[in-house]
A and B are shown apart, each in its own frame.
Chain A
Amino acid sequence: MLKINIIENNEILLSGRFDAAQEEKAMKAFNEIHETTTINFKDLDYISSSGLGVLLATQKRLSESGHQLKLISMNDHIRDVFRYAGFNMIFEIE
């Protein structure tokens, strides 16, 4: 199960598993993002290509208006998945 919590202005905390079963719910939530936003991964255990797809679609949409997602506090496994997918080159990751 994926939880998406807005913890303060322009910061979203993800927790749980970001898999294909969560794609629709997540896309709906991410479609509400309209400016540069920090996505905090500290409580996210797992991400699949479906989760990557939601982030990519949002990043593409935001980039059209000069905004972006900034990703922070990933665990090592999720960082590896981003690296495999080449997403470390299209997202700002701290």
Chain B
Amino acid sequence: MTVKFQRTLASLEKISQFILEFTRKNKLNDKIVNTITLVVEELFTNAVKYNPENTNDISVNLSMDSDKLIVSIVDYDVEPFDIRQIEAYDFRKKLNERRVGGLGIPLVKKIMDRIDYEYKNRQSKITLEKYLEKEHA
């Protein structure tokens, strides 16, 4: 199930509805709905913030493969951005050691079980998997 969303933060509510529709159709529980919503929104927000002048829509694909949910996000006419290369984040830092910002991608990496990245013809594609054994409804 693929939907293209306009490159604006105003799309976040529509993305949330799309995920809800998909997860209801596949009888997934609320915990996975919320987890996937967070992951997709973090990646979409990142794409919007770092390429504000790009006018292309951003594709979000959701699919099921037996015991896992697969999320792909494709961004068009952009520079490569491989989130697997983002430095590890220390989530145990104290308040005075924390800086504001930069939390979204580390959260995605912590939550998801597998992350792949492809970059071809200026298309950036992030594919993420979440295993469902313990989380399926």
Contact = CB atoms under 8 A, between A and B. Distances in A.
Interface in A35-88: 46, 48-50, 52-53, 56-57, 59-60, 63, 76-77, 80-81, 84-86
B34 interface: yes
Contacts, number: 72
27 contacts: A1-B13, A17-B12, A17-B13, A20-B12, A20-B45, A20-B49, A21-B9, A21-B13, A46-B37, A46-B38, A48-B38, A48-B45, A48-B104, A49-B107, A53-B103, A56-B98, A57-B100, A60-B95, A60-B96, A60-B98, A60-B100, A63-B96, A77-B31, A77-B34, A80-B31, A85-B91, A86-B92
Interface of A: 1, 17, 19-21, 46, 48-50, 52-53, 56-57, 59-60, 63, 76-77, 80-81, 84-86, 89-90
